[in-house]
Amino acid sequence: MTKLSHGGTRMGAGRKPVTPTVPVTIRLTPEQRDELKRRGVARWLRPLLENTH
């Protein structure tokens, strides 16, 4: 068998660091929770919060 020349540690490889996040708890009705899931919570909420500065 021949030894493969790829794999192993490489500069710049791996998951990039992200801004730390914290969990937040809110109370919703089941219908509101379903709507939030349908919209994609983070995809919908983060831009809304970022545009309010």
Q: Give me the pLDDT at residue 15, please.
A: 82
- pTM (global) more than 0.95: no
Q: Is 30 exposed, middle or buried (0-12, 13-18, 19+ CB in 10 A)?
A: exposed
Over residues 19-52, the pLDDT tens digits come to: 888 888 999 999 999 998 888 888 888 888 888 7
What is the 3-state secondary structure of the chain? CCCCCCCCCCCCCCCCCCCCCCCCCCCCCHHHHHHHHHHCHHHHHHHHHHCCC
Q: Give me the pLDDT at residue 46, please.
A: 83
